Amino acid sequence: MSEDLDVGACDSEAARLLPWYATGRLGAAESERVGRHLEHCGICRADLAHEQAVRSALRADGTIEYAPQAGLAKTLARINELGREPDAAAGAPPAAAARRAGTTRWLAAAVVVQAVGLGLLGSALYARHSPPAGEYETLSAPAGAAAGPRVRTVFDPSMPLGELRGLLATHSLVIVDGPSDAGALTLAATRPTDPGALLAGLRADRRVLFAEPTGRDPGGAR
């Protein structure tokens, strides 16, 4: 690349592959091509030496040592919390409640997005079905309009509200509970559907970070 990477006189493809030749991450054919080129190209040999120096500098050990234990503990706590909710949330001791109050900005953002979504979707459902005054649904009550399987989900916190609504509509889902402390929403299908297919569909969507059956419906998703 000497003199501004001018590869006009070189095998330009070989010159572009030099970084991966330097790291030994080329396939056999490409590696052979670059090797042959280097035999008669002094410019690329100099460039290769430069790239190796850049790589060495980048990989040189720094003086900073990172302590992974705190992050590991936080992530394991997040996993454990998701695994035992929502029952644990109801009877949480003060210490646990205090710890939850300090959960990450990620969860806070998720709660905000999902709470707004819950409000709007709830309003839309209310307008559509107009239940008599005083009636409301709890998790222990019959599902009503939500006749299909239930799943617990966590969405990407940066997901726009419009996309959340679109995703729910695509899978014929409504929000029946949440968000929990960990930002999880409980969804229910509005029509009978194959639980496995529903879970697979949700998990295939990159914006869905977590999707598991609730275990509360007899034919629930697995």
- Contact residues toward other proteins (CB under 8 A) are 1, 4-5, 16-17, 19-26, 35, 38-39, 45, 48, 50-64, 66, 68, 70-72, 74-76, 78-79, 104-106, 158, 203, 209-210
The Cβ-side half-sphere exposure at 119, using a 13 Å CA radius, reads 7
Least distance from other proteins to the Cβ atom of residue 29, Å: 13
Residues paired with 177 in a beta bridge: 186
Query: Are 31 and 13 a contacting pair, CB within 8 Å?
Result: no
- Closest separation in Å from C-beta 93 to other proteins: 23
Distance of closest approach, residue 200 Cβ to other proteins, in angstroms: 10
Residue 208's φ and ψ, nearest 5 degrees, are: -95, 110
Q: How far is the CB of 191 from other proteins (least distance, A)?
A: 26
- As measured in angstroms, the least distance from the Cβ of 74 to other proteins is 6
| Of the candidates 154, 171, 155, 157, the residue with the CA atom closest to the CA atom of residue 86 | 154
- Nearest CB to other proteins, comparing residues 96 and 209: 209
How far apart CA 8 and CA 12 sit, in angstroms, is 7
Q: Which is nearer to other proteins, 83 or 166 (CB)?
A: 83
Separation between Cα atoms, residue 205 and residue 155, nearest integer Å? 10
Q: Which C-beta is closer to other proteins: that of 35 or that of 131? A: 35
Q: CA-CA distance, 155 to 74, in Å (whole number)?
A: 19
Q: Which is nearer to other proteins, 6 or 126 (CB)?
A: 6
Minimum CB distance to other proteins smaller for 62 or for 132: 62
